């Protein structure tokens, strides 16, 4: 039997993840079964189980794949120098989140809410998410130090508190967009600018 190429393996894995995301978006994490995902993927049960042992394995893979994709897009925004002003950076981060999460037939922002809920019962999921958010929050803290040095934020600002507030704003956008469906990255960017955050 010919050996499948690495490129083909990655494509099949992504095909299964896309099927899982569609099922999770439609039915939720716990109602969705492996049979649902197998049917949606168009692959055989043996092919799907060759990549993922069970649904928990697939949920974790979907989460880590999403977070890795976001990391690729977001880290350059907060680590490249010179940094844009705070409102502009927030707008850019949210724009990347929107572009990454809006897929054909489903929206990863809605699935993110399911992942956050899952993290309350699954320590592995919680640890994975916490690691990503803590690392990103540290990068936001580093950005606030730069803004302080440039006079865009007060010199007395507590960068850790500011980073926590920025992360809350970013995660809040995900919730608001998923639940209310009437908010855009530009709305948040404009609101932050009009509140005068980072306009010192």
Give pLDDT tens digits for 146-180: 999 999 899 999 999 999 999 999 999 999 999 99
Q: What is the pLDDT of residue 1?
A: 45
For the chain, list the domains and their CATH numbers: 58-194 (1.10.357.10)
Q: What is the pLDDT of residue 199?
A: 56
Q: What is the pLDDT of residue 200?
A: 47
Token code pair at residue 93: 């981060």
Do the Cβ atoms of 115 and 129 come closer than 8 Å? yes
Q: What percentage of residues in the chain have a pLDDT greater than 70? A: 97
Q: For the segment 2-11, what is each residue's pLDDT rounded down to a tens digit?
A: 567 888 999 9
Q: What CA–CA distance (Å, rounded) separates 123 from 28?
A: 19
pTM of the model: 0.90
Mean pLDDT of 93-115: 94
Do the Cβ atoms of 185 and 95 come closer than 8 Å? yes
Which pairs count as long-range contacts for 11-16, CB under 8 Å and 24+ apart, including other chains?
A: 12/43, 12/47, 12/51, 13/51, 13/61, 15/41, 15/42, 15/43, 16/41, 16/43, 16/48, 16/51, 16/52, 16/58
Higher pLDDT, 192 or 6: 192
Q: What is the pLDDT of residue 18?
A: 94
Mean pLDDT is lowest, of 105-109, 126-130, 138-142, 169-173, for 105-109
Q: For the segment 37-93, what is each residue's pLDDT rounded down to a tens digit?
A: 999 999 999 999 999 999 999 999 999 999 999 999 999 999 998 999 999 999 999
Do the Cβ atoms of 55 and 34 come closer than 8 Å? yes
Q: 3-class DSSP state for residue 102?
A: strand
The H or E element containing residue 107 is strand 106-107
Whose tokens are 């060759």? That residue is 50
Residue 114 CA from chain centroid, whole number: 12
Do the Cβ atoms of 29 and 114 come closer than 8 Å? yes
Q: For the segment 9-39, what is each residue's pLDDT rounded down to a tens digit?
A: 999 999 999 999 999 999 999 999 999 999 9
Q: What is the pLDDT of residue 191?
A: 94
**Does the pLDDT of residue 197 top 90, yes or no?**
no
């Amino acid at each position: 039997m010919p050996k499948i190429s690495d490129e083909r393996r990655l494509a099949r894995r992504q095909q299964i993840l896309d099927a899982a995301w569609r099922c999770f978006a439609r039915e939720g994490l716990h109602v969705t079964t492996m049979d649902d995902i197998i049917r949606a993927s168009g692959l055989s049960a043996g092919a799907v189980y060759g990549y993922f042992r069970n649904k928990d394995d697939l949920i974790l893979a979907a989460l880590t794949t999403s977070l890795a994709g976001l990391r690729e897009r977001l880290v350059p925004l907060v680590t490249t120098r010179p940094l844009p002003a705070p409102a502009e950076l927030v707008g850019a981060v949210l724009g990347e989140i929107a572009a990454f999460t809006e897929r054909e037939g489903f929206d990863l922002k809605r699935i993110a809410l399911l992942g956050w809920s899952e993290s309350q019962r699954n320590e592995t999921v919680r640890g994975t998410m916490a690691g990503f958010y803590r690392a990103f929050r540290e990068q936001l803290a580093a950005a606030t130090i730069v803004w302080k040095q440039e006079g865009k934020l007060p010199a007395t600002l507590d960068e850790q508190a500011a980073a926590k507030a920025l992360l809350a704003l970013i995660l809040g956008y995900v919730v608001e967009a998923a639940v209310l469906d009437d908010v855009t990255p530009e709305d948040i960017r404009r609101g932050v600018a009009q509140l005068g955050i980072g306009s010192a």
